[in-house]
Structure 1
Amino acid sequence: MRAELLHRQARRESAARTYARTLPVVPVTAAGAVVTGADGRTYLDCLSGAGSLALGHNHPEVVAALKATLDSGALLHGLDLITPQKDAFTTELLARLPGELCQDARVHFCGPAGTDAVEAALKLAREATGRRGVVAFTGAYHGMTLGAASVSGPEGLRSGGPAEAQPVTRLPFPYGYRCPFGVGEERAGELSARLLESLITDPCSGVGRPAAVILEVVQGEGGVVAGPDGWLREVRRITARHEVPLIVDEVQTGVGRTGHFWACERAGVTPDILVAAKAVGGGLPLALIAYRPELDVWAPGAHTGTFRGNTLAMVAGEITLRTVAEQGLAGRAAEVGERLRRGLRELAAEWPEFGDVRGRGLMTGVELVDPDGPADRTGSPPADPRFAHALRAACLDHGLLLELGGRADSVLRLLPPLILGDGEADSVLERLAGALRAARAGIPRGTRSGGGRGSAATVPGAPAGAVSGGGRA
């Protein structure tokens, strides 16, 4: 059955497939962090729906609530009409929002993907300010639609033509391992923020005051690159002082993923507009923005969509939000995440291919490098996409579902559900160690081609122009 299904998918579905190309698995059952394929093999899921499954697969409370809702005859598709389920979800969400947003935020439900929520945030900021320009950051990933892609970093996302009506100014993200300024992440954060203020205040900068600044606290698809707390606080100070709405994209980082309920809370920052999707719907399609009430200036129908009232997603989302909060799963994510990174750093001591181990909570990245290649200006070895792709395939053979991200698709990304147990975390490390041995046997050191500074398209078997992340289409 597995081979037949994979063959039919390849024949019927588009060339834009991503995960299906690199993870030839046919899942048939799943529970918690374990997925069972049609071939009977089990896998530890360190992908969890690109971070959507905070409580893992088929959480008993979520499943029971969904069954009860279906049996009740509740309205399943209500456009933007209010239902008891939607009211319960919104009440729970408002209680969990960061800072002052939990007091009186307005919530707008969008089409059921993070990319549409980003579009809504950008449109709202432009409407509220009367300005057009947007400031974004290098390495960003905000989605696949034209507006969201225009504020993203990778060239492949923007090759279809960014939204021409939206001028975008890009600033360096404080990326410690490959620092754009060559000074380390803390100092880079200071310089990036200083550059932001200069662009806004200098009448000769050619930029002027933008409609918004948009950022991810931790860049997920960009390679699990966390911005320093001081940088985020300074960006918040600058945007508040100059009355520029700050949009924080928490599509992947929200709902406990980084060790805080929202990633921006670690720095004590409250955005003007918060973008949420993925885990906020409990694994079902749901996306929204929450924003300060004074920004609520748009007219009825200014941003609409058919599937913005999914009752089942509201039910799953309400349980997920409450469970993560009441069971302290954000703190648990911080503990288990550090356990994973500690083990990964131990592996790095004997595997020089592990150039950098980083992350927050259960959002971890390992930048894979060619230790024999020429170092860049920061002293870091070159990225090694060939080895990264070999390691991903070896991980699958060893029962690990995970993906790549970052520059040249050379960052191994771990996004397990927040309910991952200590024993499962240790098993992840054991399986990864086995996969490392297999990958090195397949590509011995000294046989790699040029250190891998090219794109994933130069790697055998990688689709041209591939983007490993996605998940917001």
Structure 2
Amino acid sequence: MMTDKVRIDTLSARSLPQSNDTFLARQAEFESNVRSYPRKLPLAIAKAQGVWITDVENNQYLDCLAGAGTLALGHNHPDVLQSIQSVISSGLPLHTLDLTTPLKDEFSSYLLSLLPGQGKEYCLQFTGPSGADAVEAALKLAKKVTGRSSIISFSGGYHGMTHGALSVTGNLSPKEAISNMMPEVQFMPYPHQYRCPLGIGGDAGVKALTYYFDNLINDVESGVRKPAAVILEAVQGEGGVNPAPAEWLQRIRKVTQDHGILLIIDEVQAGFARTGKLFAFEHAGIEPDIIVMSKAVGGGLPLAVLGIKKQFDAWAPGHHTGTFRGNQLAMATGLTTLKILKDNAIADKVAAQGEWLKGKLVELQKRFPVIGHVRGLGLMIGIEIVKPNEAQDHMGCYPADGELSALLQKKCFESGLILERGGRHGCVLRLLPSLLITDAELEIFLDKFENALLATGMEPV
């Protein structure tokens, strides 16, 4: 009887007019105002393969969002689909709390082997299936280990929307009208290649920010109590694709080690070959105390894991639980994804493609000065949109143009290109495509992006 009902409901959906507007109107009726992506990308997806999405009206889009970086291998990779089918036909339960299985054993062993030092100094903690819950667990563990209560985070950082994760997130908008955020969170400035927060810029700005952090921790008159942890992204994603300079990150690692402060690196978006190395922190040659992993680690399905230095595994049994810690399908798709990334040296491919693509975008910048800055690592790239007809600041930077950035996102969509925005005022167009995107598909991206620039009415110089 239940099967018949599902079949009837499915047929009912198929009987609807196959238009994006129809499905979007029904979504608006069914869902809360909190939905966000449909407002910027107004489509109903019918199918997807690789880097391509097809909507219910049979329009095709080049997907440079890839589930906000979750789909490292793109949509419906055949090996990922096969791994799902293998679990379904194996007799394994789909859900095991934190009980182990041969599949979980294999996934855990393989994931650990990818961590610094082949994971010999680390253990894993499976949390609830979102990156935000993994961040919550990391913050709690740091407080438990150190006996201290404060946390240092960074302006522009994004760590999730749950209460503690939001408290260490830089963006003020989702914090509006949310009282009693987690106390004792100290925000510090994060380096920015285009808009130095100290107004200095260049190497001098990085050195000043490095000194500033060092001095804050060491100065007995700083007014900031020694924190339990420092949490940061080695490449800020939602904050506008800002890579941390190696020198700055290395100094933070040394200061935190010297003072017994846990360093939590959030690799939820930047991890697993996205930046041209397996983890973004590897660009600085450091080892975090806690690594936060989600998105790509589950191969497209919900999964979140912490990599914890064994010496800091201070949990008592059951002190951070979650029903959905044992997602066997996600471990299967995650294992398949990680093996493909490692066995095919995808990080090296991504590093080369990223440098080539940034070069092409810089060439485009010469013709379209609304492109104020191109930055990023690997296939995590940001394009900052500015107002080139207005006065530059003392560092030579033009004002941000969030309105034009939004219009460009709209014109990209109309041209068959899906990408996201981020950064201050939403002025940064962000690329997070499948890591298997081909050079030919990147050429298509460039064509579609240039068409979008022209469609806004601007003339190339």
Structure 1 runs (4+) greater than 4 angstroms displaced = 162-165
Deviates further, 257-266 or 167-176: 167-176
| Equivalent in 269, 273, 279 of residue 290 of structure 2 | 273
* Inter-partner Cα distance in structure 2 for 1:66 and 1:148: 31
* Inter-partner Cα distance in structure 1 for 2:212 and 2:147: 23
**3-state DSSP of counterpart to 1:182:** coil
Aligned 8 A contact 1:336 1:420 in 2: no
CA deviation after TM superposition for structure 1 residue 165, in Å = 4.4
Describe the superposition over 1:127-172 as per-residue Cα deviations: whole angstroms up to 9, x where unpaired. Answer: 0000011111111111111111111111113224365443111111
* Inter-partner Cα distance in structure 2 for 1:406 and 1:72: 45
| Equivalent in 269, 279, 287 of residue 262 of structure 1 | 279
> Could you say if the C-alpha distance between residues 164 and 405 of structure 1 is closer, same or farther in structure 2, counting changes exceeding 3 Å?
closer
> Could you say if the C-alpha distance between residues 159 and 306 of structure 1 is closer, same or farther in structure 2, counting changes exceeding 3 Å?
same
**3-state DSSP of counterpart to 2:124:** strand
Residue equivalent to 1:36: 54
Aligned 8 A contact 1:335 1:361 in 2: yes
TM-score by length of 2: 0.93
> Could you say if the C-alpha distance between residues 149 and 325 of structure 1 is closer, same or farther in structure 2, counting changes exceeding 3 Å?
same
2:372 is the alignment partner of 1:355:
yes
Aligned 8 A contact 1:172 1:192 in 2: yes
Residue equivalent to 1:458: none
| Equivalent in 409, 427, 432 of residue 392 of structure 1 | 409
**3-state DSSP of counterpart to 2:325:** coil
Describe the superposition over 1:15-64 as per-residue Cα deviations: whole angstroms up to 9, x where unpaired. Answer: 11111111011111111111111111111110000000111111111111
Alignment of 1:43-442 (within 5 A): 43-97=61-115, 99-100=116-117, 102-161=119-178, 164-440=181-457
CA deviation after TM superposition for structure 1 residue 254, in Å = 0.3
* Inter-partner Cα distance in structure 2 for 1:14 and 1:223: 27
CA deviation after TM superposition for structure 1 residue 193, in Å = 2.6
* Inter-partner Cα distance in structure 2 for 1:236 and 1:338: 27
**3-state DSSP of counterpart to 2:254:** helix
* Inter-partner Cα distance in structure 2 for 1:331 and 1:403: 24
Residue equivalent to 1:462: none
Aligned 8 A contact 2:164 2:182 in 1: no
**3-state DSSP of counterpart to 1:416:** coil
* Inter-partner Cα distance in structure 2 for 1:270 and 1:64: 34
CA deviation after TM superposition for structure 1 residue 369, in Å = 0.4
* Inter-partner Cα distance in structure 2 for 1:44 and 1:61: 21
CA deviation after TM superposition for structure 1 residue 104, in Å = 2.9
> Could you say if the C-alpha distance between residues 381 and 364 of structure 1 is closer, same or farther in structure 2, counting changes exceeding 3 Å?
same
* Inter-partner Cα distance in structure 2 for 1:347 and 1:309: 47
Percent identity, aligned pairs only, is: 46
**3-state DSSP of counterpart to 2:456:** helix
2:57 is the alignment partner of 1:16:
no
Aligned 8 A contact 1:141 1:153 in 2: yes
TM-score by length of 1: 0.91
User: Which residue identity does 1:394 align to in structure 2?
Assistant: K
RMSD after superposition: 1.4
Aligned 8 A contact 1:201 1:208 in 2: no
Describe the superposition over 1:61-85 as per-residue Cα deviations: whole angstroms up to 9, x where unpaired. Answer: 1111111111122110111110111
* Inter-partner Cα distance in structure 1 for 2:124 and 2:290: 10
Residue equivalent to 2:4: none
Describe the superposition over 1:183-217 as per-residue Cα deviations: whole angstroms up to 9, x where unpaired. Answer: 22433332223222222222221112100001111
**3-state DSSP of counterpart to 1:233:** helix
Aligned length: 442
**3-state DSSP of counterpart to 1:36:** strand
Q: Give the gaps of 5 or more residues in structure 2.
A: 1-17
User: Which residue identity does 1:149 align to in structure 2?
Assistant: L
User: Which residue identity does 2:315 align to in structure 1?
Assistant: W
Aligned 8 A contact 2:291 2:308 in 1: yes
* Inter-partner Cα distance in structure 2 for 1:428 and 1:5: 27
Q: Give the gaps of 5 or more residues in structure 1.
A: 446-473
